[in-house]
């Protein structure tokens, strides 16, 4: 079974440019999450999709970030325009919630560097 | 904002040493506590999901305990090996679908 995949693995852009990150969850997983880890700090929740619907987007830092999950399969996270503080590793995770002890499966992350 | 703390931040041990680290979390609104093992540039790998006070889980040389009343979990590694070198992350699940992560404990095992 293929795991969660993310593209690109690394992106370097200039301040003011736009970047789009992609996440392909494990097939059949209805839940998809985006997280961000700024260097040396904790992984922070950004938002949660159930199928194509945004269940919780309370972690999105501001309106420069836009996440979509059309058709309830893959998801994109667009940052426009990028700022220096957006640099970090963006993780995607997916799960098939079944009971209290469900597990999230993470992708390898996209390392975003804004210069 | 919920506070999940992990200690120590980093740990250097010799091969064969046993080690343990701590994850502290709020003792209210507890749903689950997750442990992950993360090597840079790879996907964080799920180790354990713990839901009940007093839970103990084991996978090979790694084990974990949970105390939800006082809000902590311990992760133990018996007889550390160089391949155990990684960052160990805990995540407190505050409601059914919301995870709060600690900053991690970076373990370095010297051969």
DSSP characters for A28-86? T--EEEEEEE-TTS-EEEEEEEETTEEEE-TT--STTEEEE-GGGS-EEEEESS--GGG
Asked whether the predicted pLDDT for residue A98 surpasses 80, the reply is: no
| Chain mean position to CA B94 | 16
For residue B5, what pLDDT band results from cuts at 50, 70 and 90?
Answer: very high
User: Which pLDDT belongs to residue A39?
Assistant: 84
B2: β partners: none
| pLDDT per residue as tens digits for the range A39-86 | 878 999 999 999 999 999 999 999 999 999 988 899 999 999 999 999
Mean pLDDT (whole number) for B9-34: 94
CB-based contact B95:B31 (threshold 8 Å): yes
User: Which pLDDT belongs to residue B91?
Assistant: 95
Show residues of chain B in contact with A102, CB under 8 Å.
49
Asked whether the predicted pLDDT for residue A108 surpasses 90, the reply is: yes
Q: What is the DSSP letter of A15?
A: T
Nearest to A101 among B32, B100, B101 (CB): B32
Nearest to B89 among A43, A44, A105 (CB): A43
Task: Determine the residue among B50, B92, B99 to mutate to test chain A binding: the one whose Cβ has the most chain A Cβ atoms within 10 Å.
Answer: B99
Average pLDDT over chain B reads: 93
Nearest to A42 among B51, B97, B101 (CB): B101
Asked whether the predicted pLDDT for residue A97 surpasses 80, the reply is: no
Asked whether the predicted pLDDT for residue B35 surpasses 90, the reply is: yes
For strand A53-56 and strand A5-7, is the pairing parallel, antiparallel, or unpaired? unpaired
Asked whether the predicted pLDDT for residue A99 surpasses 80, the reply is: no
User: Which pLDDT belongs to residue B15?
Assistant: 97
CB contact under 8 A, A108 and B41: yes
CB contact under 8 A, B97 and A100: no
CB-based contact B47:B59 (threshold 8 Å): yes
Name, in order, each residue with C-beta under 8 angstroms of B108's C-beta and a sequence gap of 6 or more: B10, B11, B12, B13, B85
User: Which pLDDT belongs to residue B71?
Assistant: 94
User: Which pLDDT belongs to residue B2?
Assistant: 77
CB contact under 8 A, B43 and A45: no
Asked whether the predicted pLDDT for residue B1 surpasses 70, the reply is: no
User: Which pLDDT belongs to residue B41?
Assistant: 86
């Amino acid at each position: 079974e293929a795991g969660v995949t993310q593209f690109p693995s690394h992106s370097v852009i200039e301040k003011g440019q736009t970047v789009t990150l992609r996440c392909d969850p494990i097939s059949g997983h209805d839940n998809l999450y985006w997280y961000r880890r700024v260097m040396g700090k904790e992984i922070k929740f950004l938002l949660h999709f159930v199928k194509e619907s945004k269940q919780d987007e309370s972690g999105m830092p501001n309106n420069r970030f836009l996440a979509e999950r059309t058709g309830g399969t893959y998801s994109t996270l667009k940052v426009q325009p990028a700022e220096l503080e957006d640099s970090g590793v963006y993780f995607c995770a997916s799960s098939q919630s079944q009971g209290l002890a469900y597990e999230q499966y993470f992708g390898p992350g996209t390392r975003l560097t804004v210069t | 904002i919920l506070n999940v703390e992990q200690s120590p931040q980093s740990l250097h041990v010799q091969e064969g040493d046993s080690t343990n680290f701590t994850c502290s979390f709020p003792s209210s609104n507890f749903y689950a506590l997750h442990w992950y093992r993360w090597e840079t540039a790879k996907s964080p790998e799920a180790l354990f999901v713990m839901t009940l006070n007093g839970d103990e889980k084991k996978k090979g040389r790694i084990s974990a305990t949970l105390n939800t009343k006082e809000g902590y979990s311990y992760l133990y590694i018996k007889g550390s090996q160089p391949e155990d070198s990684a960052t160990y992350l805990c995540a407190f699940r505050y409601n059914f679908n919301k995870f709060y992560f600690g900053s991690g404990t970076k373990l370095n095992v010297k051969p």
